[in-house]
Chains A and B, each alone.
Chain A
């Protein structure tokens, strides 16, 4: 009689366990034994001791409660953050840190997007970069030196390769150094595609909004919110180069409006040639973020503050 089970607690517990285990076995235990749950990209590398310490800091500070690390295969998401996340990118992640909430932006493709100096500055004072940001300050991590012995124990526990020199190199470094190193390796196993760029029709490379007062005002607003943190409120440079002098990509001499447009739209990947000048990298692309009018407006604004 089926009704007997409601009189026999041990039998009831066993039947409950079996019922609970069916879904568990099908969706969790069996997949675990198959290769589909253990993919690895060919050029994915285990974390170095410094990066791993940075990852520990990320976990310890609960960064994953506000930042995700997975770009969904959705059009606007790929435009905003970069190539969507692949299963094979996370083979060395114990545990995964995909997160569940984006109070701040996704970080899956943050590696290499900005120079180190940007990260140091931003961790120190996020509000200096984005006035309305609600991110806590993390400059205090500088006061916490890395413990090389613990770092070595960590890479050993995970079986990651390392050298004595890697461990030696940790001496004198602090937790902020480690966190920045971790930021810079995130998502780098997948090659960056300039594909995020919108099709750009440069025409005669003349700015259609040149000298337009409304456009300059719009450009100033956009510049203050997005560019000033690196290029300075006055345009005289900081983390990034000056935009008011007459040096463009390390070479003196004026450039076309189209040149400025391309740099804003597509950023500067290392060794890229633009109008006979060679980029070294550091500037992220903005074409997915701003339409042509906005980029031309910023160009007009930059022209308006240049030292003539």
Chain B
């Protein structure tokens, strides 16, 4: 192919660096609130109490780290899969500025207690409008570039990218419909049971279309790129893709098992959640069989293990999640620390692992150099793996314990434990969780150092195709 055009690497780099910055903010706050769980004196009112910090942690990481990386890496992939520069490179640069302004304002407004109180849709309405404008800018550029592409077939990753662009737009707009009171306050347009149904339809699919489809887009692109092995089955990816994007939208109600939501919606949610195992494992199997062409890559090529461990945690996550949806399991573990354990296996084990591997691939490419140190990358790998396992496993244990203590009765049928008696038994596990978080954070610092040194030794030129 001709080398008569250039890729815009500045924007890609800008998003990756911003993403890392917000990642550090979000992780530090994560450590802080993990300490608050067992040491309430770490609450500093009014701005730094648990209730205000937790939401900065979740938003900072989901949207600052997560979306930032997704934007940057999407632009990188789209340019290469379409064999052309972005249709509107200037617009992409504005996108980067708006993104950072939005995350900064989000963090400040959440510290200030401006909270719509819808999980993962906490931002107040003026910011919501800003986010929608940003998404439209992003969508125009992505879709425009794909329409004007120089490659006839759209590769799998582009399907996941298009689905992400479409789904997030629908989800975000519907759930954020609200009745404004002042510039900094509004009420959900929907009320009660209906409000719950809309919110969890949104929130579960925010997981689906921020933590799943974009990361699968990266997985399907970077695994073959970095190992040199083509994806095992094209047909399997077609089936997985369509069944995944079809089934996901039915499943939000598994977050509302045993609540006053109509039973049929709960049951339908549970059934589709069980079904979701199939398309999820379609991608897992596809990943395994791809690397099965040459398992020695796990040893010889440092990035392969990131992708394989990442997809393994995706596989475990998509077995564990549906299991949690079952009524008999839900009644034991719902509302306990089991759930944060589950969430963090996905975010630390699958999303961050895969996105970090994508960044390890992208940064040397756009800086025309090699990775600074594979050794440091390996250290990073083991630390984040161990940190995440400590986090998840301690939370699963204490979650089951909590759920059980809430249910245990005496021989005469009275409750065996007061709420406080159950609570204090969490403290050792919560302390271990903080330790897991510290180990994970140290791992991420190795990653950041490695990326920084790689940037320093390379030079960011608009690379030739």
Q: Which residues of A pack against B, CB within 8 Å?
A: 6-7, 9-10, 12-13, 16-17, 19-24, 26-28, 31-32, 36-39, 56, 59-66, 68, 70, 72-74, 76-77, 79-80, 85-87, 89-105, 126-127, 130, 132-138, 140, 150, 153-154, 157-158, 198, 225-226, 287-292
Contacts and interface: CB of A to CB of B under 8 A. Distances in A.
B418 A64 contact: no
B351 to A, nearest CB: 19
Which 6 pairs across A and B sit closest by C-beta, in order of nearness? A62-B51, A90-B192, A23-B249, A95-B188, A136-B43, A23-B250
Interface of B: 36-40, 43, 45-46, 49-52, 54-55, 113-119, 143, 146-147, 149, 152-154, 158-159, 162-163, 165-167, 170, 179-182, 185, 187-199, 201, 242, 245-253, 255-256, 258-262, 265, 268-269, 272, 331, 335-337, 339-340, 406-407, 409-415, 418-420, 423-424, 427
B113 A60 contact: yes
Contacts of B258: 72-74
Contacts of B242: 19
A85 B45 contact: no
B331 to A, nearest CB: 6
Given A6-B153, A92-B191, A95-B191, A27 B249 contact: yes
Given A27-B201, A60-B114, A68-B335, A289 B179 contact: no
B174 to A, nearest CB: 8
B55 A65 contact: yes
Given A16-B166, A23-B246, A24-B170, A76 B409 contact: yes
B414 A24 contact: no
Given A76-B409, A77-B406, A93 B192 contact: yes
Contact of A134 (B38, B167, B188, B413): B38
A19 B187 contact: no
B438 to A, nearest CB: 19
B414 A157 contact: no
Given A12-B154, A32-B197, A74-B407, 6 more contacts: A13-B166, A20-B166, A28-B197, A93-B192, A95-B188, A140-B46
A86 B260 contact: yes
A27 B265 contact: yes
B418 A289 contact: yes
Nearest to B253: A27
A37 B259 contact: no
Nearest to A52: B187
B154 A9 contact: yes
A20 B259 contact: no
B410 A31 contact: no
Contacts of A87: 192-193, 260-262
Nearest to B259: A70
28 contacts: A9-B146, A16-B159, A16-B167, A19-B245, A21-B249, A27-B201, A27-B268, A27-B269, A28-B198, A31-B262, A31-B265, A62-B50, A62-B54, A62-B55, A86-B260, A90-B193, A95-B117, A95-B187, A96-B193, A96-B195, A98-B259, A101-B340, A103-B423, A133-B420, A134-B39, A137-B40, A288-B414, A289-B415
A20 B409 CA distance: 45
A62 B43 CA distance: 13
Nearest to B256: A98
Scoring A16, A90, A105 by chain B CB atoms within 10 A of each residue's CB, the highest score goes to: A16
Contact of B181 (A22, A72, A154, A198): A154
